[in-house]
């Protein structure tokens, strides 16, 4: 997980150091690939299309992959997820995004649920989510 941690840390550190709060025209912090930020906000944010983390857990359960996402939230080792499993849950996503998610999504959900359970009320909206993830990565350092 070291390389993946490093890549995600670089992306998030780039967002934090992107120039005293300056944001590109898209409204996303500098350094965050827009497609990745939008997908994560849509998957995990309460204001996204999947109903937040609880909604995503429900979708994994409905697709028969509840044990996978539960391992990311709970303590212990994160089970891997394949592109096919993610497609079962999320439908078709762009090729580059689908290539990144099997490695990043388990780590991101794990970092956002450090107590081994989903926070009451979910992870907040998309911008709250980015702030939480940035903080979690900074604490890891």
Domains delineated in the chain: 33-140 (1.10.10.690)
For 38-73, what is each residue's pLDDT tens digit? 778 778 888 878 888 899 999 999 999 999 999 999
What are the DSSP calls for the chain, one per residue? -HHHHHHHHHHHHHHHTSSTT---TTSSPTTS-HHHHHHHHHHHSTTSTT-HHHHHHHHHHHTT-HHHHHHHHSSSPPPP--HHHHHHHH----HHHHHHHHHHHHHHHHHH-TTSSPPTT-S-SHHHHHHHHHHHHHHH-
For 103-115, what is each residue's pLDDT tens digit? 889 988 888 888 8
* Cα end-to-end distance, the chain, whole Å: 14
pTM over 0.85: no
Contact criterion met (CB below 8 Å) for 9 and 2: no
Of 7-11, 14-18, 60-64, 104-108, which has the strongest mean pLDDT?
60-64
């Amino acid at each position: 997980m070291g390389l993946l941690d490093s890549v995600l840390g670089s992306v998030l550190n780039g967002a934090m150091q992107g120039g005293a709060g300056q944001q590109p025209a898209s409204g996303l912090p500098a350094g965050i690939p827009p497609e990745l930020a939008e997908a994560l906000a849509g998957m995990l944010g309460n204001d996204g299309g999947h109903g937040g983390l609880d909604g995503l857990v429900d979708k994994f359960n409905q697709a028969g992959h509840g044990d996978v996402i539960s391992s990311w939230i709970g303590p212990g080792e994160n089970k891997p997820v394949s592109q096919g499993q993610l497609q079962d849950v999320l439908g078709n996503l762009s090729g580059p995004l689908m290539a990144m998610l099997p490695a990043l999504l388990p780590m991101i959900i794990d970092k956002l649920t450090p107590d081994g359970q989903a926070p009451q009320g979910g992870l907040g909206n998309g911008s709250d989510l980015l702030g939480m993830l940035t903080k979690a990565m900074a604490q890891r350092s």
